[in-house]
Amino acid sequence: MTTSSSTTSHQANTERHYEVRRADLPLSCPTAEMALWNSHPRVYLPIEAEGSADCPYCGAHYVLVD
């Protein structure tokens, strides 16, 4: 699943691997496109330096693709 800035809301924490773009930064989990009602607190993830980051709450793995 690729996250992007859109008006469509996605279920939070249903995937374990997400691809994000620099346009989506700053990165948070759950992302802005995800429904928050059944998720964990929003946490911002530092992805720029290493190109990937894991959420400490749900274990979702995010990869910077550009």
> pLDDT value at position 56?
96
- Residue 11: pLDDT band (50, 70, 90) is low
What distance lies between CA 15 and its chain's CA centroid?
A: 10
pLDDT for 6 beyond 50? no
Q: Supply the pTM of this predicted model.
A: 0.72
Q: How far is CA 2 from the centre of its chain?
A: 9
> What residue ranges do the domains of the chain occupy?
22-64
